[in-house]
Amino acid sequence: MRDKLAISSAVKDAYTQLDLINPGLGGGFKVAIVRGEGRVAVAIFGKFGHALVDGPEQVAVGMSVI
């Protein structure tokens, strides 16, 4: 259960970073999750921004402690 909460927190962290820079989900994006000793890292890669605009591809990384 703690792993699920840590992953959820890390995804929220990464999404919040991108939402501040370029709000909205403009296209498909990929999520990578890596679990280490006592922490989880999440990387989000894809096109963010308004759905009707061809925005740049961006990467964000979120971290969470298990």
* Total tally of structural domains belonging to the chain: 1
Task: Grade residue 4 by pLDDT with cuts at 50, 70 and 90.
Answer: confident
Q: How far is C-alpha 60 from the chain's CA centre?
A: 6
Range of the domain at 43: 2-65
Residue 10 pLDDT more than 80? yes
Q: What is the pLDDT of residues 38-56, one digit of tens each?
A: 888 888 887 766 666 666 6
| Summary mean pLDDT of the chain | 77
pTM of the model: 0.68
Alpha-carbon distance of 27 to 32, in angstroms, equals 17
Identify which of 55, 44, 52, 50 has the alpha carbon closest to the alpha carbon of residue 14: 44
